[in-house]
Structure 1
Amino acid sequence: MKSIIILCGGRSRRMGKDKGSLILNGKPMILHVLDTVKDIVDEIVLVLRDQEQIDKYKPILKDIYPSVKVVTDEKKDQGPLIGILTGLLHINSEFAQILPCDSPFISKSFVLKMFEIAGAKKFDAFVPIWDDGHIEPLHSIYKKDTAIVIMDLIENKKRTVKSLIESLKVKYVDVDELDESTMSFRNLNRVEDL
């Protein structure tokens, strides 16, 4: 079973707006991500900030995506680590790929390659890595059991995704191997990016 967790809880300080609802090429960014993954995965969990954000997304999602499970962060305004935890607590599969809602150019082949690599199941996480050592923790696959590790990190006041990666048995995968164009990793963080 292939599960996707889409994180869309944060507001961009640079944009001053909810990124997933911003229009790119005639439709909200979140729909670009959903359109890419909807036919290739079994389960989609969309993690939003709060009820206000759910209400904002209802007209965007309409009945086009009735199978998307929409949940809110376990704790509000705590960053992406809480979003990952929330998503992992709501999936039915052993692993899930995390995707940010502000990466509208994610390709189907990238997602499928990640799940193919995760088939080895000998690791807690599968993390894309650039030549310079920079990692992409919000484009990674995590084992459902890492929710326990995240809870422990949060209890110990560690709230970064980097602290999670450092606590896991990780298989790093070259970005170029996953997407030669590297467009799957392009985040839109500023108005001029649109």
Structure 2
Amino acid sequence: MKSVIVLCGGLSTRMGQDKGSMNYHGKPMIVHVLESLNQVADEVVLVLRNEVQYNKYKNLLSKNAFLESSNFKILKDTIKDKGPLGGIYTGISAINSDKALIAPCDSPFISKELVTQLFEISKNYPDFESFVPIWSDGNMEPLHSIYPVRSKEIIEDLLLKDQKNVKALIKRLNVKYIKIDEFDLPKKSFLNLNSPQDISKVE
């Protein structure tokens, strides 16, 4: 079963607004992300940070079929103000499989091919718990990675110690790092749009 958790965090100071709700090519970025994931995932969980964002996104998606799909859930962070790590905790607590791919809501170019390839790799290497794409310079893509449900206990421990960096979780798992150059897809599949300048570069 392919489970995907989409994280929508706080406001972007450079965008001046909630990134997932920002329009790109006529529709919110979150819709671009969900349309790609919905083609290949058996289960999609959208995690939002609070009640205000929850209501905003329910309204934003009201004209789309996602809300009526049985394989789609919208959740609010169960542990507040803990960043992406808190979002991962909320998401993996709600999925029906033993692992999930994490995706950010500000990556409108994430493709069904990327999701398919990541899950295929995870199936071919059952001895590993987590699967993390990595660039040639050593930089990781922790929010385009697969994590096991058992991460929940580790995250609880990290958050109790006020450690909110996803890389702290990665250090506690048996990880297979996947060179991004080995993926047969455009590199912009990993691109996050963090500023108006980012958008202008891909127009």
Q: Which amino acid aligns with 1:158?
A: Q
Tell me the matched-pair count.
194
Matching of residues 18-167 of structure 1 within 5 Å: 18-62=18-62, 63-65=64-66, 66-67=68-69, 68-119=72-123, 120-167=125-172
Map of 1:174 onto structure 2: 179
TM-score, length-scaled by structure 1: 0.96
The percentage of counterpart residues that share the same residue type is 52
For the Cα contact (< 8 Å) 1:11–1:18, is it kept in 2?
yes
Partner SS, residue 186 of structure 2: coil
Which of structure 1's runs of 4+ aligned residues deviate more than 6 A? Answer: none
CA deviations 1:170-189 (Å, max 9, x no partner) are: 00001122254211110000
For the Cα contact (< 8 Å) 1:2–1:42, is it kept in 2?
yes
Correspondence 1:193 to 2:201? no
For the Cα contact (< 8 Å) 1:5–1:46, is it kept in 2?
yes
For the Cα contact (< 8 Å) 2:101–2:144, is it kept in 1?
yes
- 1:145 and 1:116 map into 2 onto residues whose CA distance is 20
- 1:75 and 1:124 map into 2 onto residues whose CA distance is 24
- 1:16 and 1:150 map into 2 onto residues whose CA distance is 30
- 1:130 and 1:148 map into 2 onto residues whose CA distance is 28
Map of 1:11 onto structure 2: 11
Moved more, 172-181 or 18-27: 172-181
Partner SS, residue 59 of structure 1: helix
For the Cα contact (< 8 Å) 1:127–1:170, is it kept in 2?
yes
Partner SS, residue 131 of structure 2: strand
- 1:128 and 1:109 map into 2 onto residues whose CA distance is 14
- 1:26 and 1:16 map into 2 onto residues whose CA distance is 18
TM-score, length-scaled by structure 2: 0.92
| Unaligned segments of structure 2, at least 5 residues | none
Partner SS, residue 170 of structure 2: helix
